[in-house]
Structure 1
Amino acid sequence: MTSEVLVEKKKLDNPPLEIHHLGDRVLRQPAKRINKVDAEIRDLVREMLQTMYSADGIGLAAPQVAVQKQLIVIDCEPDDPTNQPLILINPSVKHMGRDICVAQEGCLSIPGVYLDVKRPAAVEVSYKDEYGRPQKLTATGLLSRAIQHEMDHLNGVLFVDRVENGLALNQELAKYGFSAQAVKPVA
């Protein structure tokens, strides 16, 4: 079955949705489960993909566009037209790998800021696809990191909340005009 939500991977002058930035309250609100996967949800997926591609992103969570729903779109290969984006509805972590890796992350809600974040190297998630069918996926590498990063958004957590180097964090945020007060460190 081909996805109904395929969109051309291109930048739009006027993306359909507005991405909210660090400091905006909507980014801190927990997302709600989606009860029914229908045409309205698929329309939202399409608009999120168009917005993500327009912003040169590889992932976007619904709370970033002020929609408090448990919905994530990810495409780790935005330059490859044959690579299908991943749509995760109501994602849930089933297992995290024991190996921890550190890599640089950025976020469409904190443009310009890139900092090191520690995360499990592998993650197994269950979710529903754009048709409401249950799916399971074990991811490693960039995809694992993207899934964990976007799932954090569903809980009101931003990657800067996980940065351990406070000096680098404050310098980067200041450089791009963001307030360090907007960071809410996670334990």
Structure 2
Amino acid sequence: MRNGSIPGTRGRVRTVTLLGTPVLHTPCEDVTDFGPELATLVEDLFATMYAAEGVGLAANQIGVPLRVFVYDCPDDDEIRHLGHVVNPRLVETDGVVLRGPEGCLSLPGLEAGTERHDHAVVEGFTMTGEPVTIDGTGFFARCLQHEMDHMEGKVYADRVKGWRRGRLLRQAGRASWRRETDST
């Protein structure tokens, strides 16, 4: 980040888009301008993620349909992973597939058992255009795969199957935030 500053301290907290918002369900576009607007977006993503107490946040979750996400997420060994990636590509998933509880800032207060690989590798760029490779295991691998789904216009609910999916969708339909968005 700029001058070694703490990510998000210069950012503006933005409104998180909720399940059903079109930008959340549309594949994101590649970033083509690595200028000051991108740096501001990354700062705003961090500020919003921290304000919402999340571990990752994609640009489309604040209404910006670009391939960018930020993260501040531990792995299963409690090692903190902090960063951002622009134009990410999921280049590898392997290892054991585990079903674990997963939530999303765009579906506040809800979670469901979601299957993810316990290892993931993402390649992309920093906001200044430098190549970056992010290698995650455990919970951090889950986070990377979750944010990559956002890049493709998907949410974790799209991966939940069977009775878990039905229960999650019923809960979402009854959620107070859902009623608020339906009335606006």
Q: CA RMSD in A?
A: 2.3
Q: Counterparts of 1:111-150 in structure 2 under 5 Å?
A: 111-150=108-147
2: CA distance between counterparts of 1:154 and 1:167? 24
- 1:7/1:50 contact within 8 Å kept: no
- 2:16/2:62 contact within 8 Å kept: yes
**Which 4+ runs in 1 deviate beyond 4 A?**
none
- 1:7/1:49 contact within 8 Å kept: no
Q: Percent identity?
A: 29
Gaps of 5+ in 1: 78-82, 180-187
Q: Counterparts of 1:81-96 in structure 2 under 5 Å?
A: 85-96=82-93
Q: CA, structure 1 residues 161+16, in 2 after alignment: closer, same or farther (shift >3 Å)?
A: same
2: CA distance between counterparts of 1:139 and 1:74? 12
- 1:29 maps to which residue? 26
- 2:182 maps to which residue? none
TM-score (norm 1): 0.82
Work out the number of aligned pairs and report it: 170
Where 2:73 maps in the other structure, the secondary structure is coil
2: CA distance between counterparts of 1:166 and 1:64? 21
2:48 to 43, 46, 51: 51
Q: CA, structure 1 residues 117+90, in 2 after alignment: closer, same or farther (shift >3 Å)?
A: same
1:89-141, CA deviations, whole angstroms, 9 ceiling, x for partnerless residues?
Answer: 01111111042111111101000001110011111111101221001122111
Q: CA deviation at 1:9?
A: 6.9
Gaps of 5+ in 2: 75-79, 180-184
Q: CA, structure 1 residues 163+138, in 2 after alignment: closer, same or farther (shift >3 Å)?
A: same
2:153 is the alignment partner of 1:156:
yes
Q: CA, structure 1 residues 168+71, in 2 after alignment: closer, same or farther (shift >3 Å)?
A: same
TM-score (norm 2): 0.83
Q: CA deviation at 1:170?
A: 3.4
Structure with more of its chain in strand, by fraction: 2
2:165 is the alignment partner of 1:166:
yes
